[in-house]
Amino acid sequence: MSRPDRPGKIVCLARTFRKHAAELGNAVPEVPLYFLKATTALIGPGEAIRLPAASAEVQHEGEVALIVGARLSHVDPDTAEAAIAGWTLLNDVTARDLQRADGGRFTRAKGFDTFCPMATGRLPTLDWARCRVQCRVGGALRQDGPLSDLVRSPAEFVAAISACMTLEPGDVISLGTPAGVGPLRAGDTVEVRLVGPAGETLMTLENPVVAGGR
């Protein structure tokens, strides 16, 4: 099994799809909301998501992510768009009960080892507004969201993040998840899929789920 290169930063956006924000009882933020996901959570396709003993409510969040290709600081959206070096898939696995227990904070709930499966494939370009992200568990469709439903364009998100922190080549920015997040159980197989304008599968990310995480 191949594993993706470990980036300097994994920046994940939150509440970028209106229906997902609504299903968790959250408003869409007026300015982009984002957090850092631990790089030690990174695993590749086929590697196991390990359910930690500390959580009884681990959920999938299928997402499209982009790879930064240049050093960016306080850039405009046009500059940000030109610096997108590639596109991939990510599963922002989340211990939802711990997120609630921590007052909605993200770090512990999303930082466990194996909680960041990411595809090793990269697409150099993507007609993102005509694509969809899907997530299946055990073959059953759970999430299916058009990227056109994002509240901002990917370039606008990148530009906003660059106003806070300098982005470096190889950094990953994940664009958030559509509605339909749901539980993962030991024995499940979870698949995130990027679907193109004609309904074709452009990329997949599949991982088994096992018990025994710390």
> Count of residues for the chain?
214
pLDDT for the residue numbered 18: 78
Separation CA 83–CA 76 (nearest Å) = 11
The CA-CA-CA angle for residues 42, 61, 108, to 5°, reads 60
- Sign of the torsion angle spanned by Cα atoms 49, 107, 35, 177: positive
Written as tens digits, the pLDDT of the chain (214 aa) is: 677 889 999 999 999 987 776 777 777 788 999 999 999 999 999 999 999 999 999 999 999 999 999 999 999 999 999 999 999 999 999 999 999 999 999 999 999 999 999 999 999 999 999 999 999 999 999 999 999 999 999 999 999 999 999 999 999 999 999 999 999 999 999 999 999 999 999 999 999 999 987 7
pLDDT for the residue numbered 1: 64
In sequence order, the β-bridge partners of residue 87 are 66, 123
Q: State the pTM of this model.
A: 0.94
pLDDT for the residue numbered 21: 66
pLDDT for the residue numbered 27: 75
pLDDT for the residue numbered 3: 79
| Structural domains in the chain, sorted by start | 10-213 (3.90.850.10)
Residues 119 and 207: beta-carbon distance below 8 Å: no
